[in-house]
């Protein structure tokens, strides 16, 4: 081994030059510093999550010091600012699901049909035109969609179907319709990606066996892309549950425990958005109530998101 330490000298052929050291000429602290600061940027997301959890949990724990957890979760009367106050969260949970449900009922068929058309029927040129348009729809602020529903949809629908709007202009169903408009692009875009990720070979094999285009789309491509499609639906559901501005504008503010699309409802997000705007004092029961509802909303959307992320990973694993 000792001998090898010195045999690095160059021989007769080629330019005689010393063998440079293989060690770094400098410790390159700059590189390490950069890597560290980039890691800190990434860590900020964990800090954000931690901060969200702490800001939600601390007041929520205080809240449950005053209100029983079963009274909160299973109570059917929501009147936190009344005297005597009542903290049964079910009406606003049901209100949330009502608007989200009507939204999904509108958006699922429209979104999925658009996705099938985009991935299986559209020519590349049509795709290149339509997909960005749908993405523009995804970029419209929800406050604009809410105003559209409030000023236009609600009065127009009331004229034709009065049962849809019990307390003009507020209606869970119309809020749902507006939410549906908002989530159509999410469903269409992600499902389209999932269906296009299905290898062309599967389609060709099915065509080779003589299937019609419709059968290829519905019985080959659709089942093969199902996890991506489910992910898009769940993600859209999560967005529907978490939407604030549309429900604040059109759903009304009455905590009615009902799934009737014509009824005015209060949702979890609307309650937070409505109550937290006032300059309420820290530590009051109303302040804590906001956070308790926020925690519930956070948990629901977290479960939905985790599920969607898992489904997306599944289809990526398979085809990428």
Partner 1 sequence: MTLEVNGQMTEKERKENLTLPSEPSQEKGLSHQIAVKADGDESGVDVWAKDKVFEVKDVTVSYANKAAVKDVTMDIYKNEVTAMIGPSGCGKSTLLRCLNRMNDLVPSARVDGEIFYHGQDLYGPTVDPVQVRKMIGMVFQKPNPFPKSIYDNIAFGPRVLGMDNIDERVEKALKGAALWDEVKDRLKDNAYGMSGGQQQRLCIARTMAVEPEVILMDEPCSALDPISTGKIEDLMAELKEQFSIVIVTHNMQQAARVSDKTAFLIVELDATENNRWGQLVEYDETEKVFTNPADQRTEDYVTGKVG
Partner 2 sequence: MASGTPGTERNRLATAGARAATVTSLERQPRGDIWMGNIFFAILLFALTIALVGLAAIILQAAINGAPAFGWNLITNGPSTLNPEEAGFRPAIIGTIYLILGVIVLVVPLGIGAAVYLEEYADGTRWWNRTVELNVQNLAGVPSIIYGILGLAFIVRGPLDLGFILVAGSLTLALLVLPTVILASREAIRAVPPSIREGSLALGATEWQTIRRQVLPASIPGIVTGVILAISRAIGETAPLLLVGAATFVTFNPTFTGDNGYSALPVLIFNYATRPQDEFRVLASAGVILMLIVLLLMNSFAVWLRNRYEQQW
Stretch 22-51 residues interacting with partner 1 (CB under 8 A):
22-25
How many residues bind to partner 1 according to rule CB under 8 A? 22
d(CA 120, CA 151): 37
Q: Which residues of 113-142 are buried (b: 16+ CB within 10 A; e: fewer)?
A: ebbbbbbbebeeeebeebbeebeebeeeeb
Nearest Cα neighbor of 161 from 246, 232, 78, 260 is 260
Least Å distance, CB 23 to partner 1, is 5
Segment 93 to 112, residues that bind partner 1, using CB under 8 A: none
Residues 6+ apart with CB under 8 A from 225: 191, 194, 195, 197, 198, 315
Q: Which does 22 bind (CB under 5 to 8 A by kind): partner 1, partner 2, none?
A: partner 1
Q: Which stretch binds partner 1 (CB under 8 A): 17-25, 61-69, 153-161, 212-220?
A: 17-25
Does residue 160 bind partner 1 (CB under 8 A)? no
d(CA 192, CA 217): 12
Q: Which does 6 bind (CB under 5 to 8 A by kind): partner 1, partner 2, none?
A: partner 1
Does residue 125 bind partner 1 (CB under 8 A)? no
Least Å distance, CB 141 to partner 2, is 3
Pairing of the two strands 78-79 and 86-87: antiparallel
Does residue 201 bind partner 1 (CB under 8 A)? no
Does residue 15 bind partner 1 (CB under 8 A)? yes
Q: Which stretch binds partner 1 (CB under 8 A): 16-24, 202-210, 283-291, 292-300?
A: 16-24
Does residue 281 bind partner 1 (CB under 8 A)? no
Tell me the DSSP string of 102-121.
HHHHHHHHHHHHHHHIIIII
Least Å distance, CB 35 to partner 1, is 14
Q: Which does 286 bind (CB under 5 to 8 A by kind): partner 2, partner 1, none?
A: none
Kindly tell me which of 24 and 160 has the beta carbon lying closer to partner 1: 24
Q: Which stretch binds partner 1 (CB under 8 A): 8-16, 235-243, 270-278, 300-308?
A: 8-16
Least Å distance, CB 37 to partner 1, is 20
d(CA 53, CA 65): 18
Nearest Cα neighbor of 223 from 318, 128, 304 is 318
Kindly tell me which of 43 and 69 has the beta carbon lying closer to partner 2: 43
Do residues 188 and 136 make contact, with C-beta atoms less than 8 angstroms apart?
no
Q: Which stretch binds partner 1 (CB under 8 A): 10-18, 52-60, 102-110, 303-311?
A: 10-18
Do residues 20 and 8 make contact, with C-beta atoms less than 8 angstroms apart?
no
- The tally of CA atoms less than 13 A away on the side-chain side of residue 298 is 16
Residues within the interface to partner 1 (CB under 8 A)? 1, 3-11, 13-16, 18-25
């Amino acid at each position: 081994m000792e001998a090898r330490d010195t045999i690095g000298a160059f021989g007769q052929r080629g330019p005689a030059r010393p063998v440079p050291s293989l060690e770094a000429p400098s410790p390159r602290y700059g590189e390490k510093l950069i890597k560290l600061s980039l890691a800190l940027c990434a860590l900020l997301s964990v800090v954000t999550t931690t901060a969200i959890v702490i800001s939600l949990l601390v007041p929520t724990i205080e809240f449950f010091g005053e209100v029983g957890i079963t009274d909160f979760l299973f109570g059917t009367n929501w009147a936190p600012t009344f005297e005597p106050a009542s903290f049964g969260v079910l009406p606003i949970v049901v209100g949330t699901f009502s608007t989200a449900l009507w939204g999904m009922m509108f958006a699922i068929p429209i979104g999925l049909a658009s996705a099938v058309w985009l991935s299986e029927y559209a020519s590349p040129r049509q795709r290149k035109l339509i997909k960005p348009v749908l993405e523009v729809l995804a970029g419209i602020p929800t406050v604009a969609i809410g105003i559209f529903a409030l000023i236009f949809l609600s009065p127009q629908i009331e004229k034709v179907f009065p049962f849809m709007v019990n307390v003009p202009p507020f209606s869970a169903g119309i809020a749902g319709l507006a939410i549906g408009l908002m989530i159509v692009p999410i469903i269409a875009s992600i499902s389209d990606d999932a269906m296009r990720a299905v290898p062309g070979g599967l389609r060709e094999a099915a065509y080779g066996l003589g299937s019609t285009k419709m059968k290829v789309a519905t019985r080959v491509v659709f089942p093969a892309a199902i996890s991506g499609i489910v992910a898009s639906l769940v993600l859209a559901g999560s967005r529907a549950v978490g939407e604030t501005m549309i429900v604040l504008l059109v759903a009304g503010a009455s905590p009615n425990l009902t799934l009737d699309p014509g009824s005015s409802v209060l949702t979890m997000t609307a309650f937070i958005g409505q109550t937290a705007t006032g300059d309420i004092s820290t530590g009051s029961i109303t302040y804590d109530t906001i956070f308790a509802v926020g925690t519930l909303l956070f948990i629901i959307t977290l479960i939905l998101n985790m599920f969607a992320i898992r489904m997306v990973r599944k289809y990526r694993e398979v085809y990428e």
